[in-house]
Amino acid sequence: AKDPVRVLVTGAAGQIGYALVPMIARGVMLGPDQPVILHMLDIPPAAESLNGVKMELVDAAFPLLKGVVATTDVVEACTGVNIAVMVGGFPRKEGMERKDVMTKNVSIYKSQASALEKHAAANCKVLVVANPANTNALILKEFAPSIPEKNISCLTRLDHNRALGQISERLTVQVSDVKNVIIWGNHSSTQYPDVNHATVATSAGEKPVRELIADDAWLNGEFITTVQQRGAAIIKARKLSSALSAASAACDHIRDWVLGTPQGTWVSMGVYSDGSYNVPAGLIYSFPVTCANGEWAIVQGLSIDEFSRKKLDLTAKELFEEKALAYSCLN
């Protein structure tokens, strides 16, 4: 039998945490033959609720779940973890300035970066979910210099999956037949959902989405804004932000990263930019990636038209400004 993998979930007493931990314990993230030990971190005000989640995990009698650490101690939480899913963060509250929220999160991600660097297993893979996800991941990277930058990522897979969902609804095809959409940039409303390379499996073979949906006004307009604004639409409907879809996307992200993407398929991940597609280096930016042997690689050589170029640059500009704001909060 395989040795258990230790998976950290921070903010585990929260909404996404509550949806995510049972998925991990069931093998949705790492596969049905991979035992796991869950490490759950939250802050003291949530300690009792966190313990309740631990009680439910015991009650669920998951065969793959070999242990649960539920703690408010960052060091205990991070010790020996192979995978860290960072969901904990400070939410924006009414009347709060962007800078105030950024200050809170920068200080959380700075201290958790140090704890991971010192106590996580070698080669720990990190996924930041908490917003501002790209910039939190960048701060984590900057303050954990001994963790290789290729091991630090942020979640844009939810946006990617939302884009697949919108195409499948529009064409009334199975979502599993749609592939290779791209989310470029920030996990925010400036993200660019790009269908220029996306395809659909049909009985007549693989067809470009642009050929099947010959409605440029929709593809260049409503489709993009629907994906960009989907988070807000869920809050309006549910009075709470996306949780089950975020948890599911976090599982998809880690699963593909660890087990590999299917042949001919790419996914979107927020990763440290290296200058590909003329995106400035030094940002955590969402790119199309393929994964093999536990490593991602940015898909190269895709054509970028003028419309797309503007959108790639706009979201890079926002990330640049977020980075500057984050740094100003450190001082």
Long-range contacts, stretch 50-54, CB < 8 angstroms, 24+ apart:
50/12, 50/13, 53/12, 53/13, 53/17, 53/18, 53/21
The reply on whether position 226 binds ligand NAI by CB under 6 A is no
Judge whether 119 counts as a catalytic residue. Answer: no
The reply on whether position 103 binds ligand NAI by CB under 6 A is no
On whether the CB atoms of residues 155 and 169 are closer than 8 A, the answer is no
Closest listed residue to residue 158, CA positions, set 55, 269, 322: 269
Task: Output the DSSP codes for 83-96.
Answer: EEEE---PPP-TT-
The reply on whether position 243 binds ligand NAI by CB under 6 A is yes
Residue that the structure tokens 């309006």 belong to: 236
Residues 6+ away with beta carbon under 8 Å from 253: 127, 153, 155, 157, 267, 269
Residues 263-292 that bind ligand NAI (CB under 6 A): none
Cis peptide before 145 (omega within 30 of 0): no
The reply on whether position 246 binds ligand NAI by CB under 6 A is yes
The reply on whether position 46 binds ligand NAI by CB under 6 A is yes
Closest listed residue to residue 189, CA positions, set 233, 146, 129, 153: 233
- Binding region for ligand NAI (CB under 6 A) out of 199-207, 237-245, 305-313, 316-324: 237-245
CA pair distance 262, 157, nearest whole angstrom = 15
Residue of 188, 242, 261, 290 that binds ligand NAI (CB under 6 A): 242
The reply on whether position 13 binds ligand NAI by CB under 6 A is yes
Measured from the Cβ of residue 159, the count of other Cβ atoms closer than 10 Å reads 27
Residue nearest to ligand NAI according to CB distances in the complex? 14
CA pair distance 319, 185, nearest whole angstrom = 8
Q: Provide, rounded to whole angstroms, the least separation between the CB of residue 303 and ligand NAI.
A: 27
Q: Provide, rounded to whole angstroms, the least separation between the CB of residue 310 and ligand NAI.
A: 24
- Binding region for ligand NAI (CB under 6 A) out of 128-136, 172-180, 283-291, 323-331: 128-136
- Binding region for ligand NAI (CB under 6 A) out of 88-96, 220-228, 274-282, 290-298: 88-96
CA pair distance 9, 16, nearest whole angstrom = 10
The reply on whether position 193 binds ligand NAI by CB under 6 A is no
Measured from the Cβ of residue 197, the count of other Cβ atoms closer than 10 Å reads 17
Residue of 15, 190, 196, 276 that binds ligand NAI (CB under 6 A): 15
User: In terms of CB distance, is 46 or 139 closer to ligand NAI?
Assistant: 46
CA pair distance 47, 95, nearest whole angstrom = 27
Residue of 41, 84, 164, 329 that binds ligand NAI (CB under 6 A): 41
Instruction: Report residue 208: phi and psi, to 5°.
Output: -65, 140
The residue from 39, 119, 160, 187 that is catalytic is 187
The reply on whether position 108 binds ligand NAI by CB under 6 A is yes
User: In terms of CB distance, is 89 or 185 closer to ligand NAI?
Assistant: 89
Ranges of beta strands (E only) in 17-151 are 36-41, 65-71, 83-86, 125-128
Q: Provide, rounded to whole angstroms, the least separation between the CB of residue 199 and ligand NAI.
A: 24
Residue of 7, 85, 87, 116 that binds ligand NAI (CB under 6 A): 87
The reply on whether position 71 binds ligand NAI by CB under 6 A is no
Residue ranges in contact with ligand NAI by CB under 6 A:
10-11, 13-17, 41-43, 46, 87-91, 108, 129-131, 133, 155, 158, 187, 241-243, 246
Active site residues: 187
